[in-house]
Amino acid sequence: MTVGDPVLDVICIGRSSVDLYGGQVGGRLEDMSSFSKYIGGSPTNISIGCARLGLKSALITRVGDEHMGRFIRETLADESVDTSHVITDDERLTALVLLGIRDAEQFPLIFYRENCADMAICEADISADFIASARAVLVTGTHFSTDRVAAASFAAMKLARAHGRKVAFDIDYRPNLWA
């Protein structure tokens, strides 16, 4: 790809997961007996939302070489999100999140993200030509929690600015993911 006019509206970079929501609204997570599966992760959700609004969006992330990774990749494709930079990581699993809905104010959740695939995004995963192909790049706060993913996010931002592209920041701050 040569650098020229943008063909994408936005590239989102970062967290991808499978969210398993408890089916018993109002109950404790401990009491859930069934779960429904959804795609998750702030940048992943934003890329889908942008596509649903008619924008051309893409996602840079990593998913595991397993059932949940394929679910994410297939769901993104079904939603018309460019998956050309969704990397399949054969050494790590896709992140999972268990969630419940107690009431309008509370939703208990548990992250299963230890050494997960999307936290292995590195600078080598960031293509200058791909970044230049978008009007904007969105990075998220969770991916500043470790040096490796922070370096990838900083590289993407630097490339975007060098090509005159916009950079957006989604705080996506989860204190328990910074431990």
pLDDT surpasses 50 at 1 = no
How, if at all, do strands 57-64 and 8-13 pair?
parallel
For the stretch 43-80, pLDDT in tens is 999 999 999 999 999 999 999 999 999 999 999 999 99
For the stretch 93-116, pLDDT in tens is 999 999 988 777 777 889 999 999
| CB contact at 8 A, 61 and 121 | yes
pTM of the model: 0.92
Assign 173 a pLDDT band (cuts: 50, 70, 90).
Answer: confident
Domains and CATH numbers, the chain: 8-16+41-93+115-167 (3.40.1190.20)
Q: What is the pLDDT at residue 3? A: 60
For the stretch 111-155, pLDDT in tens is 999 999 999 999 999 999 999 999 999 999 988 999 999 999 999
- Determine the Cα–Cα distance for residues 103 and 67; give it in Å rounded to an integer: 31
| CB contact at 8 A, 57 and 8 | yes
